[in-house]
Amino acid sequence: MGCTPFLRGFPLKNMLENIEGFKKLKTHGVHVLIVGVSHYEHVEGGAQETEKGLDSGLGQLNGCAMSAAKFAQWVLDEHHIPDLPLKSLRVLISPSEGEEVPEVIKKILPEDHAASLKNIKSAYKGFLKDSRKDKDGMLIVYMCGHGVQIKKDNAHLLLEDFGHSNHDNILEASTSIQGLRDGIKGKHFPQKQFWFADCCQLPSEQAEDYENLFGGFTPDSRRGEVKSDHLFIATAPLSPAWLEQGKQTVFNNSLMCVLEQYGGSSIQDDYYTIQAGGLSTALQIMINNILERANEGVDEDQKLEQLVQNISVSSLTNFHVYKAPPDLPVLMSLQPGEALPTKATVKAGLGDDAETVFDDRIEGEVNFHLKPGIYVIDCKPNGDFKDYRDLFAIEIKNELLGEMGLLPNELSIEIGLA
């Protein structure tokens, strides 16, 4: 009796292979999986609405695929861990019509890059294959889109084909974020792992009709743990994560600002690093800043809030090491007004060989940039002043670092008369 051959699905390949000149690395490295869903085929506003999709009460998004793609661009261009180069990158995105995706990511996306159930299974299979036996490497996962909370500690990301009429379970086209984590534990996999769940943790609209909800892609759980495991969840259990339509999610916007502004950074061996603990604190500060602006003029009971959850083992693990120290915008002005104009010189360091970083007349406010260090300002103000230290107003314009109290120890200025 004959039998039908079993057709094996091929794992979604490493996107770095689409970059000209790519060479497969034999060293340990960083393995990245990114998923972003804005377009949902079967919910309200989708091209193929279904009863299941409409019953969910969900609609289209505009900004989640963009958020995922922007994070992918940062990983490709900026992420840095000494001796751990980027080794594999997989990105699945389902953007809404007209949603912005960086060109550098567009060029290397596979032809079928939809964040669908079929593709997440294939991408995860390849992700496992590449990261297995790379225990000294690092693993990063970022997932963004509609999310529902099934159990206290288990959010599901809804995929593009959520609500398909042929699916047996409501949540069949979803993936358990905790399930993905459990499937890549143990001594054979990277012992440094960072997971970002940028989605709501609201209960499913249909949950009340069922004793239990099953489904969703959940790989087999593996035995063992990893030494440094970090899950950043965009919001608290049973709470929404906010998105301004057409822009990044609040969580993603905050994450990009934190990384660009050296938020939560520490100094380690003369390098500035972002560690898991500092990243969590800086994320919450930046989210609060963004929502504070959004809440201006809003009634108290209508104000938005979003509390980041950080489930971590070993908060001192480096997520990112900067290749250069921060470049701090500085605003310098001379008070009182009758002291102007003046010639001012700003030197980095002490002594005759100190480098001059600013040398010009000051008519009003002056903007320039400084690296952390000690600076000397010499000037000849117009008029006689008993205490020249009262002449200068120095403001370092880095909102995030200033709020975290990092600037006073990082930049000091001595003032003198020329």
Region for residue 285 given its phi and psi (left: phi exceeds 0; alpha: psi -120 to 50; beta: otherwise): alpha
Between CA 73 and CA 69 the distance in angstroms is 6
- For residue 140, the tally of other CB atoms under 10 A from its CB is 22
d(CA 68, CA 123): 15
Q: How many CB atoms lie within 10 A of CB 51?
A: 9
pLDDT, residue 1, reads 41
Q: What is the DSSP string of 28-42?
A: --EEEEEEEE---SS
Instruction: Judge contact between 172 and 215, C-beta under 8 A.
Output: yes
CB 225 within 8 A of CB 231: no
Q: How far apart are CA 71 and CA 65, in angstroms?
A: 10
Residue type, 220: D
The dihedral through the CA atoms of 97, 9, 105, 327 has a sign that is: positive
Residue 35 has φ and ψ, to the nearest 5°, of: -135, 130
Q: For each successive 10 residues of the chain (418 residues), what is the average pLDDT?
A: 50 93 91 98 95 91 96 98 96 96 96 97 96 95 93 82 91 93 94 96 66 76 91 92 89 94 83 90 91 90 92 86 86 70 80 85 80 78 64 69 55 52
Beta bridge partners of 32: 89, 140
> How many CA atoms are closer than 13 Å to the CA of 264, on its beta-carbon side?
26
Of 66, 317, 75, nearest in space to 190 by CA: 317
Task: Fill in the DSSP letter of residue 17.
Answer: G
Instruction: Kindly state the tokens that stand for 146.
Output: 């509609």
Q: Which residues contact 9 (CB under 8 A, 6 or more apart)?
A: 118, 121, 122, 125
- Residue 373, number of CB atoms within 10 A of its CB: 14
> Structure pTM?
0.88
Domain at 15-321: CATH architecture: 3-Layer(aba) Sandwich (3.40)
Domain residue limits, the chain: 15-321, 328-417
Q: How many CA atoms lie within 13 A of 102 on its CB side?
A: 16
Task: State the DSSP code for 186.
Answer: S
Please state, in angstroms and rounded to a whole number, the distance separating the CA atoms of residues 150 and 2: 43
What amino acid occupies position 174? S
- What three-state secondary structure class fits 16? helix
pLDDT in tens, 154-177: 789 999 999 999 998 888 999 999
Structure tokens at 287: 């989210």
- Both tokens of residue 290? 């963004």
Measured CA to CA, the distance from residue 14 to residue 11 in angstroms comes to 9
* 220: its two tokens: 């087999």
Q: What is the pLDDT of residue 149?
A: 85
The Cα 150–Cα 229 span in angstroms is 22
Nearest-angstrom CA–CA distance, 306 and 243: 11
**Pairing relation of β-strands 192-199 and 138-145?**
parallel
Instruction: Please tell me the distance from the alpha carbon of residue 180 to that of residue 185, in angstroms, as a whole number.
Output: 9
Residue 8 tokens, joined: 């094996």
pLDDT score of 9: 62
Residues in CB range of 216: below 8 A, 6 or more apart: 150, 156, 169, 171, 172, 174, 175, 176, 179
Token representation of residue 368: 């320039």
Query: Quick one: how far is CA 358 from the chain centroid?
Result: 35
